Amino acid sequence: MPKKKQPEEASHKVNNPNVLGLHAQVVAQPVTQTLEVNYMPYAMSVIVSRAIPEIDGFKPSHRKLLYTMYKMGLLTGGRTKSANIVGQTMRLNPHGDAAIYDTMVRLSRGYGALLTPFVDSKGNFGKVYSRDMAWAASRYTEAKLAPVCAELFRDIDSDTVDFVDNYDNTMKEPALLPTTFPNILVSSNMGIAVGMASQICGFNLGEVCDTTAAYLKNPDCDLSETLLGPDFPTGGQLIADPDALREIYETGRGGVRVRARYRYVKEQNLIEIYEIPYSTTTEAILDKVAELIKAGKLREVADMRDETDLGGLKLTIDLKRGTDPDRLMARLFRQTTLEDTFSCNFNILIAGTPKVLGVRQILEEWTAWRTESVRRRVYFVLGKKKDKLHLLKGLKRILLDIDKAIRIIRETEEEAEVVPNLMIGFGIDRIQAEFVAEIKLRNINKEFILKRVRETEALQGEIDDLEDILADPRRIRGIITDELRAVKEKYAEPRRTALLYSHELPEPEEEEAEEDYPVNVFLSREGYFKKITPQSLRMSGEQKYKEGDGPSQSFESANAAEMMFFTDRCQVYKTRLSEFDDTKASVLGDYLPAKLGMDEGESVIFAVLPGDYSGALLFFFENGKAARVELSAYQTASNRRKLTGAYSDKSPLAAILRLDGDGELAVYSDEPRALIFHTALLSPKSTRSAQGVQVMTLKRGRRARRVCPPEETAIVNRSRYRVRSLPAAGALLKEEDSEERQMTLLEDEKPL
């Protein structure tokens, strides 16, 4: 028998005479091989070469930009056009001018994203606290390196770091920058890679230097004594939770709460917010406050506007008479991003491997890396001094008998033989002989000779000292500590984010409880919603609806209850009945698409009172499938008003039912067929958008149209349609079980 091909080796030819008469061959490839060959290299490139910072605190794009500016002489020179810098950087970073300029903006002083900016900018560089304040084009702005960059490039030419080829092998670039301070903890950094992300909060430069020095002295020191907490460029108040900070310091994961700072201007009865959390923007705050005002939850606010100018950020809230500003701000802290959580994920590349490290582990890695940089620098300087000493030793041997040296040079007939003759005459090597041959005649005097002898002795002492440094780790730690103190003295600034301890927090006020009382709610087919008290309902007459509209659902509930509205766009809107005004039966009610801010053309199809989120929802689709989804899948920790992906969009929806317990349901198709099944046959799905399982098998072109309890149908012989397993085709409807038949009989009855 011929050997059967394995699926991995299977191939087939596709003949297409229109393609230059050639045969195209398509070879099937296993998905695992596709992932390994095509996707994994891309994923690793994003992780290692783009999104995750390394131990020097920079991503590759940051490093390439700063090194280009350093080579352009922008550390000590004047500013140049940003477009010039962007163009030069493309020799190292081929990702396009827009991406390079965005990187420069983030590192700039004008943008304000870093506590210690590295680019001294001039012109409009936007603001980190505004999503709409765009920066000017690169041809309009200017930049140079900030003075602190001297600490990034210190001794970079002394073999402190490795250099690698750029993308086209035409020049060299540093693999890391030899920062003299732990920039990885000072510079805030965020990156999203493939399957992982990194989010590093910035710490105060002075505190980081003190903490690192304390760690070098005692690796088991208490970090919280010197590293008080994160420090953000936008200021604000950090709610210093010792447990949260300890978790971040130990694991590298966690979150810190930051709230805005404000002042009350009594004369004008207004609040001025002048610092906001680093993780939000002024536009996000204004939008949320406007939403709360529109919902009637901030009746104390007359107006809120953005008055940010050259003086800095300022959001102004005009208060109504009699408003307590502190109580209002306490509510705004709870309901808006004026108080927000900054999540930390200290994911860093260590020797090409991403690792999530706590602060102590980061200091351990940084000090090990910095120690190696200092050792390499000392080796480099030691080598230079040994080379010089070697030359001076050769010179010293010749100066002992200078007349002999002159005689050798004079008696040599060819210039090329001068160096070899000196080597033979004094027993020195070629390098020493070359150095001696280049000495000017005017330097052959007693003073020159004495100076060289003394220099030789001093040089030997320096070499001994450098060798002692290499042999003594304590001296290397001392050098690193001295550099840290120098950086702190020269570049450290006071904290911008104030620390707010638990005992300084005002006592949390209990939220005003919503008035709770019985209500009846009514939903119409076209999306009009009414909330009516039982007393008003008893006194009212007939329910009023628009022409062509009618009742869809009604409930008895309480004013404080939560309600969910499902729409035809696979979305669900969550709200509370207290947000609707009490009304009467004689009015149309609230139009839900407008009240809830739905998308254009979106309509409500089902409402449910979730209560304690027990029970489930059954989504039945026209293709005969049904998905049973637990109500708890719609429960959220935050006050989210809109959830997308409420149910599957693979097939039109035939019906939604709430299941508080298992029971029988009848399903009708348009053939017409019907079946009755027990809901216990449907297992709950873990995701809201699950497609479900096949309940009713349908012929081509047929659709499921109705789902309801058997009690609400006209079926007489239920056993005919009852099934014990799914899926099932059901049975053709008999005339006596048809609702049309029942209606006909009722209409034909005549009174005697």
Residue positions annotated with a catalytic role: 140
- Residue 430: helix, strand or coil by DSSP? helix
Going by their DSSP bridges, the two strands 562-567 and 571-576 should be labelled as antiparallel
Phi and psi torsions of 244, nearest 5° = -65, -40
- Residue 249: helix, strand or coil by DSSP? helix
DSSP state of 48: I
The CA–CA distances, whole Å, from 532 to 80, 206, 556, 741 equal 70, 63, 10, 38
- CA-nearest of 696, 752, 683 to 728 is 696
Q: Are 289 and 260 in contact (CB under 8 A)?
A: no
Q: Tell me the Ramachandran region of residue 96: left when phi exceeds 0, alpha when psi lies from -120 to 50, beta otherwise.
A: left
Maximum Cα interatomic distance, the chain, rounded to a whole number of Å: 154
Handedness of CA 312, 316, 322, 324 (dihedral sign): negative
Q: Is 75 exposed, middle or buried (0-12, 13-18, 19+ CB in 10 A)?
A: middle
Q: Is 617 exposed, middle or buried (0-12, 13-18, 19+ CB in 10 A)?
A: buried
The CA–CA distances, whole Å, from 212 to 36, 47, 202, 734, 739 equal 41, 28, 15, 85, 82
Q: Are 705 and 651 in contact (CB under 8 A)?
A: no
Q: How far apart are the C-alpha atoms of 452 and 458, rounded to whole Å?
A: 10
Going by their DSSP bridges, the two strands 11-15 and 731-732 should be labelled as unpaired
The CA–CA distances, whole Å, from 695 to 5, 517, 712, 724 equal 39, 41, 20, 11
